[in-house]
Amino acid sequence: MVPHVPTVVIIGRPNVGKSTLFNRLVGKRLALVDDTPGVTRDRREGDATLFDLKFRIVDTAGLEEEAPDSLSGRMRQQTEAALIDADVALMVIDARAGLTPQDRHFARWLRAQDMEVVLLANKAEGKAGDSGLFESFELGLGDPVPISAEHGEGLADLYDALRPLLDPLMPPEEEIGDETEEERDARLAAEPLKLAIVGRPNAGKSTLINTLLNEDRLVTGPEAGITRDSIAIDWEWQGRRVRLIDTAGLRRRAKVVEKLEKLSAADTKHAVDFAEVVVLLLDAKLGLEAQDLRIADMVLQEGRALIVALNKWDAAEDQSRLFQGVRKALDEGLAQIKGVPLLAVSGLTGKGLDLMIKAAFEAREGWSRRVGTSALNRWFEGAIERNPPPAPGGKRIKLRYITQANTRPPAFVIFGNRVDELPESYRRYLVNSLREEVGFDGVMIRLNLRARK
């Protein structure tokens, strides 16, 4: 018997990122990626690998240019031809651009086909994709899976969506039982914690990393930016794997001193992109400054879990006042999130570093956490009962239910009526209550409101 390799076809209007996704899954730079919509490309097929899933992938990019506004003619024929042999369709939308009539067209047409569909909201990295992601629930193709084909984000969620569809089609020897949520959590928790330590020059990053690693891999000194090249370092902390990125080396290449600041910002961005959890190191002698807040804000906007560590604690004076002052400045400066974990550490003596790594693992747990819909709605009903939404013009805004749309970071969507009129203060109440009562301490929560159809 010839083992059947499942076939997955990528569908969507031009420029949503089909080719980029194809490349990502095939792992080679096979396809031409272009910013111009409808650049002619042949239908391409390749062997895709997604963790332990192997399947045939077909990209329909290039089939659209004949009839960009409708699904007629050659495009329909070609797309249909691609679909005939396929087991699953990946319907891709551009989360940044939001839904277009053409997306709705594709969705309507796909719903009429007898086939499994996974809806992918691409370009969902950062915050700009949130509204398109939530909008795409409307397509009636199930919960969208947010991904970033370009940055390789969301692939674990794509895996989770594809696996139950492909598993029954896999040859028996490759069959693996359905992964429960606990197993998935265990698998993710076993992956190395991707940690970045950022901060202004001289905050003590290199010294702290040296102490953590307990070896002289990095060169430190009183001068800013003399560490070696940017490297990812794998090590273990109490039997758990940690992957640390150090990009300070990039700064060293800067010959011109004036460029230091700029390069350092780019380094920070690079490290943040890589990380799940970011430790922002402050120099206790300087406290929290505007530049630190900007970095913290960027980390949160990029959807990473944040920890703030007050470094050089060994040299700090009036410790209790200092700590309280920074705590207050943090809560005021980062209005979108209350209670970012704050720790006192010394990279020089090693004080507090164990607690810091422990906090980093905990932050990742909250950041990755998925709460079941029924537990979530139990909290939701209570929160609304204790403090009902306002009634502008005498008509109460009705909030009906909530669901978790994403993890890493957690994102939620609330469906209701007249949600446009909900004041920002009420939304903040919900987010804070969710954080405190459901337990997302120090984690940035994204919340979207959608009018129920």
Contact footprint for ligand GDP (CB under 6 A): 12, 14-20, 33-35, 61, 122-123, 125, 148-151, 199, 201-207, 220-222, 224, 248, 311-312, 314-315, 346-348
Integer Cα distance of 201 and 233 in angstroms: 20
What DSSP string runs through 185-239? HHHHHHSPEEEEEE-STTSSHHHHHHHHHTS--S---SSSS---S-EEEEEEETT
192 is in an annotated binding site: no
Asked if residue 311 belongs to a known ligand binding site, the reply is yes
Consult the annotation and say whether 164 binds a ligand.
no
Amino acid at 358: K
353 annotated as belonging to a binding site for a ligand: no
- Among residues 207 and 404, whose Cβ is nearest to ligand GDP? 207
Shorter beta-carbon distance to ligand GDP: residue 144 or 199:
199
**Nearest approach, Cβ of 124 to ligand GDP (angstroms)?**
7
- Strands (E) across 1-99 are located at 7-11, 44-50, 53-59, 88-94
Tokens of 304: 């990473």
The answer to whether the annotation marks 379 as part of a ligand binding site is: no
Give the residue with the Cβ less far from ligand GDP, 65 or 421. Answer: 65
The annotation status of 160 as a binding-site residue, yes or no, is no
Instruction: Please say whether the beta carbons of 368 and 360 come within 8 A.
Output: no
Q: Is 315 annotated as a binding residue?
A: no
CB of 424 to ligand GDP, least distance (A): 27
SS3 call for 81: helix
Give min distance, CB of 444 to ligand GDP, in A: 20
Distance (Å, rounded) from C-alpha 330 to C-alpha 341?
Answer: 10
DSSP classification of residue 113: S
Between 148 and 170, CB nearer to ligand GDP: 148
Do the annotations mark residue 352 as ligand-binding?
A: no
Write down the least CB distance from residue 218 to ligand GDP, Å.
8
CB of 403 to ligand GDP, least distance (A): 23
Q: In terms of CB distance, is 150 or 297 closer to ligand GDP?
A: 150
Task: State the CB neighbour count (10 A cutoff) for residue 9.
Answer: 24
As measured in angstroms, the least distance from the Cβ of 406 to ligand GDP is 15
Smallest separation, CB 258 to ligand GDP (Å) = 17
The conformation of residue 242, written as its DSSP 8-state character, comes to E
Nearer to ligand GDP, 148 or 414 (CB): 148
Report residue 19 CA to chain centroid gap.
21
- The answer to whether 156 is a known ligand-binding residue is no
CB 34, min distance to ligand GDP, A: 6
For residue 403 the two structure tokens come to 């669901």
Which is closer to ligand GDP, CB of 151 or CB of 163?
151
The tokens describing 79, both together, are: 């797309």
Residue 269, C-beta contacts closer than 8 angstroms, at least 6 positions apart? 298
Distance between CA atoms of residues 415 and 38, nearest Å? 35
What is the end-to-end Cα distance of the chain in Å, rounded? 48
Nearer to ligand GDP, 39 or 169 (CB): 39
Contacts of 122 by beta carbon, 8 Å cutoff, 6+ apart: 16, 17, 20, 21, 92, 93, 94, 95, 147, 148, 149
- Residue 18 annotated in ligand binding: yes
Known binding site for GTP: residues?
12-19, 59-63, 122-125, 199-206, 246-250, 311-314
Known binding site: residues?
12-19, 59-63, 122-125, 199-206, 246-250, 311-314
